[in-house]
Structure 1
Amino acid sequence: MMVDYMVKVTECEPLPGFRLRVACSDGSRGVFDMSKYVTRGMFREVNTPERFNMVRLVFGVPTWPGDIDIAPERVRSDMVAA
């Protein structure tokens, strides 16, 4: 799949298991699994359900307090259609 660097996340809802239910600007919808990220690097800051559930969209990018974010093109390329 070719990566679309212009895609934005338009909806984002935290789910159990460090997953996000998302919709993207290209019309796609799905679930993005963050569980493999929350044990590494800056994402360790959001490795509790309470912190993970603080996700908000900032200019189409899933973002947590402390300026922790995940690229929307990563979300789009790795999500599973729902």
Structure 2
Amino acid sequence: MDWDVIEVKPQGDHLLLVRFKDGLEGTVKFLPSAFRGVFAHLRDTVQFERVAVLDGVVTWPGEIDLAPDAMHAEISRSGQWILS
């Protein structure tokens, strides 16, 4: 799919730079309020920076991931996806 992520890089302070298969690039920003539930342990910078791409999806250990289609849609609209 065009919304498959092909690259993700942590950019400090809970910010990710992502690039999609179709060439779209943008950022994903986690606000402090996003660190609840399954995302709670990602508040730790070391854990957050363990981000990777697996089968076109931004993932972390522990089966945590972000929906690439929703991410692509929001980044194509505004250049960023802010998670709160």
- Please indicate the TM-score interval, normalised by the length of the shorter structure: 0.7 to 0.9
What is the aligned partner in structure 1 of residue 26 from structure 2? 30
Structure 1 residues 68 and 37: CA distance shift in structure 2, 3 A: farther
What is the aligned partner in structure 2 of residue 9 from structure 1? 5
1:27 partner SS: coil
Tell me how far apart the structure 2 counterparts of residues 51 and 38 of structure 1 sit (CA, whole Å).
15
8 Å contact kept, 1:37–1:43: no
Q: Between Structure 1 and Structure 2, how many residues are aligned?
A: 78
Structure 1 position 81, deviation (Å)? 2.9
8 Å contact kept, 1:7–1:24: yes
Q: 1:38-62 CA distances to partner (integer Å, 9 max, x unpaired)?
A: 4222011211110000001010111
Q: State the AA in 2 paired with 1:21.
A: L
- Higher helix residue share: 2
CA RMSD of aligned residues (A): 2.1
Give the TM-score normalised by the residue count of structure 1. 0.79
Tell me how far apart the structure 2 counterparts of residues 21 and 10 of structure 1 sit (CA, whole Å).
11
